[in-house]
């Protein structure tokens, strides 16, 4: 019971930090907001901030790990006989539907990311890791775990590029049209050359 309470407090503190940071980034701008200001707004010490996040960039991209896990899980649940590119498309469209349910919060994060070169660079760095994980998951689907080939790596990179282009369009149009439709359109355009 004590462990469960401790974990809940950690989650609550992390969420409080994220909310405080995003509010300050919106109000004052990313570059003008300090870790000290975020900590004060969240009612914790700056030292505690660093128990949760290595940098203030990491606050903006804090959801990236959960999103990758969701993509991999959905990909793993696709029917075994489905072609790899189609499995990727179905997975990304399903995850894009999740994004729609969190539209306001995600658009907020993406706007901060788009306005800050250091946050954008951090996001791209994390996405490079996504590409490796996605290629590994695809290799497992085709029966060669741990050994993604050139086509598998290309598909992983193209899938992520499709999602990135869709998100950029979604952000530019303030969340319209719906993200799953944009993702489908990107996958169809690329898929003609990858199927």
Q: For the segment 34-66, what is each residue's pLDDT rounded down to a tens digit?
A: 999 999 999 999 999 999 999 999 999 998 888
The model's pTM is 0.82
Residues 55 and 74 in one domain: no
Provide the residue range defining the domain that includes 98.
Answer: 61-194
Q: Whose CA is closest to 60, among 105, 12, 13? A: 105
Last-in-domain residue among 24, 39, 59:
59
Find how far residue 81's CA is from the centre of its chain.
Answer: 27
pLDDT at residue 93, as a whole number: 95
Last-in-domain residue among 59, 81, 99:
59
Residues 88 and 21 in one domain: no
Q: How many domains does the chain have?
A: 2
Residues 154 and 103 in one domain: yes
* CATH number for the domain harbouring residue 52: 1.10.10.60
Q: Whose CA is closest to 22, among 69, 68, 60, 74? A: 60
pLDDT in tens, 144-191: 777 788 989 999 999 999 998 998 898 888 888 889 999 999 999 988
Residues 47 and 124 in one domain: no
62-68, long-range: CB < 8 A, 24+ apart: 62/14, 62/18, 63/109, 64/123, 64/126, 64/127, 64/130, 67/95, 68/129, 68/130, 68/133
Q: Minimum mean pLDDT among 16-20, 62-66, 82-86: which range?
A: 62-66
Residues 65 and 94 in one domain: yes
Q: Whose CA is closest to 163, among 82, 98, 117? A: 98
Residues 116 and 67 in one domain: yes
> How confident is the prediction for the chain on average, in pLDDT?
90
Residues 51 and 70 in one domain: no
Residues 86 and 177 in one domain: yes
Residues 51 and 81 in one domain: no
Number of C-beta neighbours around residue 85 at 10 A: 19
15-24, long-range: CB < 8 A, 24+ apart: 16/42, 16/43, 16/44, 17/42, 17/44, 17/49, 17/52, 17/53, 17/59, 18/59, 18/62, 21/56, 21/59, 21/60, 22/59, 22/60, 22/108, 22/109, 22/112
């Amino acid at each position: 019971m004590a462990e469960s309470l401790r974990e809940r407090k950690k989650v609550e503190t992390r969420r409080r930090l994220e909310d405080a940071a995003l509010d300050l980034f919106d109000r004052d701008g990313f570059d003008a907001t300090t870790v000290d200001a975020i900590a004060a707004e969240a009612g914790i010490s700056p030292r505690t901030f660093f128990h949760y996040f290595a940098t203030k960039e990491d606050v903006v991209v804090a959801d990236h790990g959960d999103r990758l896990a969701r993509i991999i899980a959905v990909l793993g649940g696709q029917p075994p006989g489905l072609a790899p590119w189609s499995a990727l498309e179905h997975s990304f469209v399903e995850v894009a539907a999740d994004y729609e349910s969190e539209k306001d919060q995600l658009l907020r994060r993406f706007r901060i990311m788009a306005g800050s070169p250091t946050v954008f660079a951090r996001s791209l760095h994390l996405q490079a890791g996504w590409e490796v994980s996605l290629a590994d998951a695809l290799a497992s689907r085709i029966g060669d775990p741990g050994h993604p080939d050139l086509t598998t790596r290309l598909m992983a990179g193209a899938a992520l590029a499709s999602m990135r282009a869709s998100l950029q369009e979604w952000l530019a149009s303030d969340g319209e049209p719906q993200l799953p439709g944009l993702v489908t359109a990107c996958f169809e355009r690329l898929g003609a050359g990858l199927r």
